[in-house]
């Protein structure tokens, strides 16, 4: 399973072309910001910055920023609330980085899975448990497998 940014420039161009069609908004992943998130379907990306955990004045670490989790929801506000309450790897990220950003855009339901997968394939967010898309081929009859293995 690959984690981290994709190194294929075409993947980044695909992502840029896709997300430029939508309006993106940031809310801090805190209860007080729930009303700024609509109750519509959409895609969201939770991002973290190291600026809250860096003890000294290291410029590089203070500016590091990355996607921690990418997801989709038929109700962004409800999903926002579940992440605020915290569970799994996003909860661990919140404990590590403190404040997290919740970037979101309303997107029609038929496009949710494709756009979400594009984010996962491009960013490789570490809190996504499944960040690999699997394709299963046509089944092979058991008799054929037995004959080929003799």
- 8 Å CB contact between 97 and 50: yes
pLDDT of 75: 98
Report the Cα 116 to chain-centroid distance in Å. 7
Residue 144 confidence (pLDDT) above 90: no
pLDDT of 148: 58
pTM of the model: 0.81
- 8 Å CB contact between 41 and 121: no
Radius of gyration, alpha carbons of the chain:
19
Count other Cβ atoms within 10 Å, centred on residue 111.
16
């Amino acid at each position: 399973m690959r984690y981290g940014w994709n190194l294929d420039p075409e993947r980044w161009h695909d992502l840029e072309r896709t997300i430029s069609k939508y309006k993106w908004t940031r809310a801090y992943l805190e209860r007080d910001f729930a009303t700024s998130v609509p109750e519509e379907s959409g895609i969201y990306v939770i991002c973290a910055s190291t600026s809250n955990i860096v003890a000294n004045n290291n410029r590089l670490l203070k500016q590091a920023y990355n996607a921690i989790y990418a997801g989709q929801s038929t109700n962004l506000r409800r999903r926002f609330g579940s992440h605020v309450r915290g569970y799994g790897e996003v909860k661990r990220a919140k404990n590590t980085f403190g404040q997290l950003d919740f970037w979101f855009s309303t997107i029609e339901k038929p496009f949710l899975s494709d756009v979400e997968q594009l984010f996962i394939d491009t960013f490789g967010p570490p809190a996504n448990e499944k960040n690999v898309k699997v394709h299963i081929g046509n089944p092979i009859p058991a008799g054929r497998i037995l004959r080929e293995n003799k």
